[in-house]
Amino acid sequence: MISLLFLSFPQASLPLATSSLLQSVAQEDVLEEKVSLFKKIIKGKGQEPLAINHIDGFATLYSEAQERREEIEESLEFKPEDVNELKKELKNLESRQKAIADVVWYSFRRKRETKEHNTLWKAATYAFGRMPHHGAKYLWKAFEDKRFNRDVEFRSLCVKQVGFTRDLDQIEDLLDLLDYKDEVVAAAAGEALSQYRSAPGDVRKECTKSLVKMLESYHNASLDREDSGAVREYRTVRDPFLRALTTFTNESYRDPLEWTRWWNKNKKKSELWKDD
């Protein structure tokens, strides 16, 4: 019964604004029921596969709400007669998305680290990657959670999923991680940045600057062959950083010094850093 609720949810459509608003109210009632059922599952024991099914369903509902928001925002550009109703629906959709992200975070109320719980938390993390700024908030919260301090793989997953949100507000935090104390997390930050191909020109320029600087820094440290840690760090971050640089510049070099030369030659060429 519980698992069938997501299958019965109506598909998003584009009716008149009044009908859409009424439909939105009906959807809120359905969402409240799903939230209630999910919380009961999490408060109980076991049933991780069922909980993950609900998380997938919540992520789909979030995406549908996002699509509708984009449709409304596009309509508002043409100043339609029903502008007030559309704005009200837009506000309701924002609240709906926040509520969805909040309930997915409820998964982390299960505190004990077990194989089943780890699978549940990973499912929630992937779902947050589909929830722009709402998801990014909880991805950073999971990254900072003390229970995962020694779980580098999970923390790296959180960082990579921040990239999939493609939320521009996360860029600075990702850049800060390029020289993180654990090179696996730093590499994950590079992977995350490579998701921002369509970022504005000034953002791409700032990212390129930081990546070139950090790539050369890691490379220079690795030249001391007696420092096996520095060699390992460079090998770990190199390819993710290079992929991100290619994303932002459409150039492809392997040698960090070539990237430094390219940056020094092109950083002031405004035509390279225009918005797409």
- At 10 the pLDDT is 46
Helix 256-266 to helix 201-222 angle (10° resolution) is 150
Average pLDDT score, the chain: 91
Provide mean pLDDT across the span 56-62: 96
- At 79 the pLDDT is 82
Residue 90 burial (CB count, 10 A) = 17
CB 264 within 8 A of CB 208: no
Provide mean pLDDT across the span 47-71: 95
Least confident of 14-23, 82-91, 258-267: 14-23
Contact partners, residue 42, CB within 8 Å, separation at least 6: 51, 106, 107, 109, 110
CA distance 62 to 98: 9
- At 2 the pLDDT is 43
Residue 146 burial (CB count, 10 A) = 6
pTM of the predicted model, to two decimals? Answer: 0.87
- Residue matched to tokens 């000034």: 202
- At 6 the pLDDT is 52
112-158 pLDDT tens trace? 999 999 999 999 999 999 999 999 999 999 999 999 999 999 999 99
pLDDT at 224 over 70: yes
